[in-house]
Amino acid sequence: MSGEDNLRVRDAMASSVRTIEAMATVADAIRMMRETGLSSLVVERRDDADEFALLVISDIASEVIAKNRSAERVNVYEIMSKPVLTVPADMLVKYAVRLLVRFDLSRALVVGDRREPVGIVTLRDMVLSYARD
């Protein structure tokens, strides 16, 4: 068995997770993304029964900028993706890649044992980690 066969999502994910409230404006989200250098934000859940949501740069591009909407007047909840695919941190990368490819997704929210967000993983991150020397 090669090293790639044991690679876990936790080894490839970005562990810098920032959250934003669903009622925040897209302008607030853009400011947060610019300050942190992140291209996706986890939208806070209303309660433990609620599902996770993500706001990514492409949501802002396609739903706000391309449609000539005001970022100050659009709330995050209006354009976020919900529910989002979550993968456990200890999942093998090869299975996480298969899952994202099957659903034509570029990223997934990584969750810990208690379903708390611990990172975000992208296909790019996993592919580049998989072939690491």
The count of structural domains within the chain is: 1
Helix (H) or strand (E) holding 76: helix 76-79
Q: What is the CATH number of the domain that holds 56?
A: 3.10.580.10
For the full predicted model, state whether its pTM sits above 0.85. Answer: yes
pLDDT band at residue 4 under the 50/70/90 scheme: low
Its domain, for residue 85, covers 3-130
- Cα separation, 113 vs 109, whole angstroms: 13
Helix (H) or strand (E) holding 120: strand 117-122
Predicted confidence (pLDDT) per residue in 8-19, tens digit: 999 999 998 999
